[in-house]
Chain A
Amino acid sequence: MLEIKNLHANIDDKEILKGIDLKVNAGEVHAIMGPNGSGKSTLASVIAGKEEFEVEEGSIVLEGEDLEELSPEERAHKGIFLSFQYPVEIPGVSVTNFVKTAINESRKARGLEDMPANEMLKMIREKSELLEMDRKFLSRSLNEGFSGGEKKRNEIFQMAMMEPKLAILDETDSGLDIDALRIVANGVNKLRNKDNAIVVITHYQRLLEYIVPDYVHVLYNGKIVKSGTKELALELEEKGYDWLKEATV
């Protein structure tokens, strides 16, 4: 599904990603862990096509198509979804209106008509129930005044609505309380199927108890320095990252 090869990316001439290789197949869940500032969010943004970052070397290929020339919205239309670490506020635009616009823009790009209103409503009802969201949120301005946890839950609600092929969840667990974590993780699990793939970026082993990854990667100083199975996450929880530093330098 996703194949990243030797990816180097800069911002303001500062190299942040220093040669990343990552292959994610359909049906898989990959976890990316790593210390603060190691480049996890940068990797997510570069995959999503954020233009501030310059790709100096390497390639990102989604289902056989090189993404290099594609704008962020075109990548979204191809099924890439990013759950933001810090979701932004858009005052005056309701969650419903935003999601509706997002869905219809993507449909338009695929040559489809707007989703009929009743279908949209039905879907909104289903997905908000799946994530046990208070319906009141749907009419509130997007992320405005939302608590940290509410923002994260709302990101996953959007993911559920958009039904992406590749979802990247950037620290979706941070800010969620214990119950919310379980609800959101269960929601994500229900969205998993053999045709899509999920990349979760997290600092905590706890999330991975709910969303069980097939692979765990450690991103350290712009490089993936170790990959393994879910046991690697446990090991990291125990030992921290220092031992890896010695291993790589």
Chain B
Amino acid sequence: MAYTEEELKKELETKEYEYGFYTDIESDTLPKGLNEDIVIAISKKKNEPEWMTEWRLEAFRAWQEMEEPEWANVTYKKPNFQDISYYSAPNKKPKYDSLDEVDPELLDTFKKLGISIDEQKKLAGVAVDIVMDSVSVATTFKKTLAEKGIIFCSISEAIQEHPELVKKHLGTVVPKKDNFYAALNSAVFSDGSFCYIPKGVRCPMELSTYFRINQAGTGQFERTLVVADEGSYVSYLEGCTAPSRDENQLHAAVVELIAMDDAEIKYSTVQNWFPGDKEGKGGVFNFVTKRGLCEKNAKISWTQVETGSAVTWKYPSCVLKGDNSIGEFYSIAVTNNFQQADTGTKMIHLGKNTKSTIISKGISAGQSQNSYRGLVQVSSRADNARNFSQCDSLLMGNRCGAHTFPYIEVKNKSAQIEHEATTSKIGEDQIFYCNQRGIDTEKAIALIVNGFSKEVLNKLPMEFAVEAQKLLEISLEGSVG
């Protein structure tokens, strides 16, 4: 997306969270609260087969026995899980084949987001599956994909149309009982995306999903499952924006990636949920479980730009099961005002000659806290495993914090693990140097931050990189003074 300098400037002038509006689309919402009946009701509403209902119930029972984790370096008022409505779907279904059929108000929403389908469609090679609240509203480019045998649809649709694939893979990378939030998600997930790339197929376009939380008091529980069959390739983009709300909104997604032998998955995220206002009120709680499984010679790359949420708890991970498999994690996490982020990754080396790379860039401003937490684990049979980790922190001002918690567990002597960490501050002399060249302070900061983040920005697909840069600027706006 080509944003002009002018547009960028305008964006920067808006002080309030610009996507903080509420779309008034009629919704079909379940009463607040969570029990077995609600879980069954969700499943019924979605016409799910019985095995799916059972699966959800098992997850729910497991969740009831679990405790919310305490160890992350974040503090927040725990959500009251009985005070959340677990299902909300836009009323005006069904799905649309063309934009003309789409609710004009919805289109308007996309316009405000600056990522209208209209624009997306024109943008060659990007298929968009938009999750508006919980149910996918529009899917485009499906036909082109179908010709290659690629399946890209909502997970609900996949449960109906491709039950064998879903049954085979769902929960194999992130088990139902994996953790508190994953169990909750497994019980009540409302929708999400499903993607399957057949053997030897290179997906010809970036697959893209824009998520959005839209219903007051509705937690969102997406479920994403990407399966890349042997020798296939796919690049998947995920992006989010959310309207502002007074009460905290809970978000607990699960993303599972499966890269079979010789397959490659690139998963990129630009996350921009409402971080709360300047006093730290409101904002999204983002507790996400993302994990990928690599078979032989397979490769999974997670790239993420995190600018939003009041509280973020997120560790995209790779299980390097197959020999010679590769896991990568490239991350930029920005925190401003009162945001708290605890993010990082886990690289689990099981196979021989497995390699992993971790590049984490944390930018903290205001009174925010930004933590990197990474685990590199090498099992006893993972001969010649290699890991390189680099964690850089950039601080703006004296009231914010950056923390690094690297954990390394090695059970095989042939492993080579390297860890580098730096902390820097934007210097007065850097700013003056830029000023002297005619660059004002706001722009200078943007330049310095972009430079700092470059290694990660470079990993994003082109149009996403532009959007990410824009988000970096917006989220750090007003952080100097």
Binding site for B on A (CB under 8 A): 48-50, 52, 71-73, 76-77, 80-82, 84, 87-93, 97-98, 101-106, 108-109, 114, 141, 158, 162
Contact = CB atoms under 8 A, between A and B. Distances in A.
Given A48-B436, A88-B429, 17 more contacts: A50-B432, A52-B428, A73-B440, A76-B435, A76-B436, A76-B437, A82-B436, A84-B436, A92-B451, A92-B455, A93-B447, A93-B450, A93-B451, A101-B443, A102-B439, A105-B437, A105-B443
Contacts of B429: 88
A50 B427 CA distance: 14
A98 B444 CA distance: 10
A219 to B, nearest CB: 21
A233 B22 CA distance: 72
B8 to A, nearest CB: 12
A158 B437 contact: yes
B69 interface: no
A72 B452 contact: no
Contacts of A48: 436
Minimum-distance CB pairs A-B, first 10: A92-B451, A93-B451, A72-B435, A76-B438, A102-B437, A106-B438, A92-B454, A88-B433, A105-B438, A73-B435
Interface centre among B432, B437, B447, B455 (most CB of A within 10 A): B437
Per DSSP, chain B at the interface is: helix
B426 to A, nearest CB: 10
Interface string B410-432: 00000000000000000111101
Contacts of B450: 92-93
B168 to A, nearest CB: 43
Contacts of A162: 437-438
Contacts of A91: 451-452
Contacts of B443: 101, 105
Nearest to A71: B435
Interface residues of B, number: 24
A88 B427 contact: yes
Nearest to B426: A90
Nearest to A88: B433
Contacts of A90: 430, 433-434, 447-448, 451
Contacts of A141: 451
B13 to A, nearest CB: 15
Contacts of B452: 91-92
Contacts of A108: 5
B453 interface: yes
A114 B438 contact: no
A88 B437 contact: no
Contacts of A97: 447
A141 B5 CA distance: 23
A109 B438 contact: yes
A105 B440 contact: yes
A148 to B, nearest CB: 16
A245 B145 CA distance: 83
A89 B424 CA distance: 12
A130 to B, nearest CB: 19
B447 A101 contact: yes
A106 B440 CA distance: 10
Nearest to A141: B451
A82 B441 CA distance: 17
